Amino acid sequence: MTDPDALVARDAASFFHQHGSSPCIGALRVAQGLWLEDMAGRRFIDLHGNTVHHLGHGHPEIVAALKRQLDELAFTPRRFTNEPAVALAEALLARWPGAPARVLFATGGSDAIEIALKLARVATGRHETVSLEGSYHGHGFGAFGLSSAAPDPRLGTFLPGRRHVTPYWAGEDGPARMLEEVAGLLATRRIAAVIAEPMRSNCHVPPVDLWPRIRALCDAYGTKLIFDEIPSGLGKTGRFFAFEHFGALPDAVVLGKALGGGLVPIAAVIADARLNTAPELELGHYTHEKNPLTTRAALTALDIIARDDLVARADEAGRKLKDGVATIAARVPCVIGARGLGLLLAVAFDAARCERQPGADFAAHLVASAFAHGLSTTAKGDSAIGLSLPLTVTDEEIVEVLARIEAMGQGL
């Protein structure tokens, strides 16, 4: 049997080191449902899942569908189509609440974001973008540059024309500042697209009128609105598309992560069919664009979400979690409460009310404390941790999660 410490050491010696990945904190033996088990036999509830585990890890129906597809057709060169790819496109378009739309697939979210940017550039004849400072849209040179106005200078220059505005979560005046800055930039008539997560995955919920007002500004100045729903789409927030909470229809939406059922990488762009104006260009020309395996996994995931009414379940389970955390907050001084929508949530803590002073890096202290209580999660800002559970979570599992959060809070 492989020694887990030795495997982690081999990993550290083989991979380039990078923040949040290598070196690793351990080695997994099993990922099933909402549970992770490492090679030392320790079990954790996965409150993060890289936001791919909408259906839990290793969903048996998706595993079975992939096995069948391997025997039937495992690859399609770009010049040919296949049944699962077309069926997936049709299934996504059937969910689209706006005017007629079309799709393109990619193997990852960064690529899909850049496809959406290309569509907006071609449609508008403009090349500049507006995005929210501190957002995250992927790691391609086009997508990563949208996240921050000043990425690490060692990486060199990113796409020109990137404009960043104050995000709506930056204090009480954040939404007003964001609107004012967006309006000023769009008035230059140089902006091809505003791109943002409708609800940032730090789980701060925007004011209900924010996105309709941004939509109106985009319409007034001929700018396209792109919503990045890579972490928040496919029912995670209690609506199939997160933007459905906010009354603003984008020109394009990007899906990813959980689209592959937690097993294979696939992302999608759904966009207004009126952007279909450049058939002579290669806008998303990827080797595995219409891969029958990845599209079969995604199609099966959509079927499960619809059949089991998991969008409604996300809304119901999220309310139970929020209520449960509120009950804990009434008993445990350092717990503030939960924020977010559906099952895309974060639990906020008050460092000043901790019995044991955590030191300078409170977020790291929270993540370590959660880990010690069998909860695998990440920081959501300086004083919160992610509470992201599968849409398939049971009521019994919710009770167990809440018990561990309370025990964690009592120990802080």
Helix ranges restricted to H, 151-291 = 174-186, 210-221
Last residue of a domain, one of 274, 307, 340: 307
Instruction: Give 269's contacts (C-beta < 8 A, 6+ positions apart).
Output: 103, 104, 105, 106, 112, 115, 116, 119, 252, 253, 254, 255, 284
* Claim to verify: residue 285 and residue 363 sit in the same structural domain: no
* Claim to verify: residue 210 and residue 93 sit in the same structural domain: yes
User: Both tokens of residue 318?
Assistant: 């999220």
* Claim to verify: residue 169 and residue 284 sit in the same structural domain: yes
* Claim to verify: residue 247 and residue 325 sit in the same structural domain: no
- Alpha carbon distances (Å) from 247 to 27, 67, 213, 243, 311: 43, 40, 10, 7, 18
Residue 345 falls inside a structural domain: yes
Lowest mean pLDDT among 151-155, 272-276, 341-345: 151-155
Q: With contact defined as beta carbons under 8 Å apart, do 301 and 55 qualify?
A: yes
Question: pLDDT at residue 112 above 90?
Answer: yes
Last residue of a domain, one of 252, 282, 307: 307
Last residue of a domain, one of 307, 342, 376: 307
User: Within 10 A of 163 (CB to CB), how many other CB atoms are there?
Assistant: 20
Residue 32 falls inside a structural domain: no
Q: Scanning the structure block, which residue is given the tokens 């993060």?
A: 48
Count of the separate structural domains present in the chain: 2
User: Both tokens of residue 306?
Assistant: 């619809």
> Rounded mean pLDDT of the chain?
95
Residue 338 falls inside a structural domain: yes
Instruction: Give 73's contacts (C-beta < 8 A, 6+ positions apart).
Output: 82, 292
User: What is the pLDDT averaged over residues 319-345?
Assistant: 97
* Claim to verify: residue 248 and residue 384 sit in the same structural domain: no
Question: pLDDT at residue 75 above 70?
Answer: yes
Residues with catalytic roles: 136
User: What is the pLDDT averaged over residues 163-169?
Assistant: 97
Residue 214 falls inside a structural domain: yes
Of 300, 257, 228, 266, the closest CA to residue 59 belongs to 300
User: Within 10 A of 80 (CB to CB), how many other CB atoms are there?
Assistant: 10
* Claim to verify: residue 251 and residue 220 sit in the same structural domain: yes
Question: pLDDT at residue 385 above 80?
Answer: yes
Residue 21 falls inside a structural domain: no
CA angle 51, 52, 53 (to 5 degrees): 95
* Claim to verify: residue 232 and residue 297 sit in the same structural domain: yes
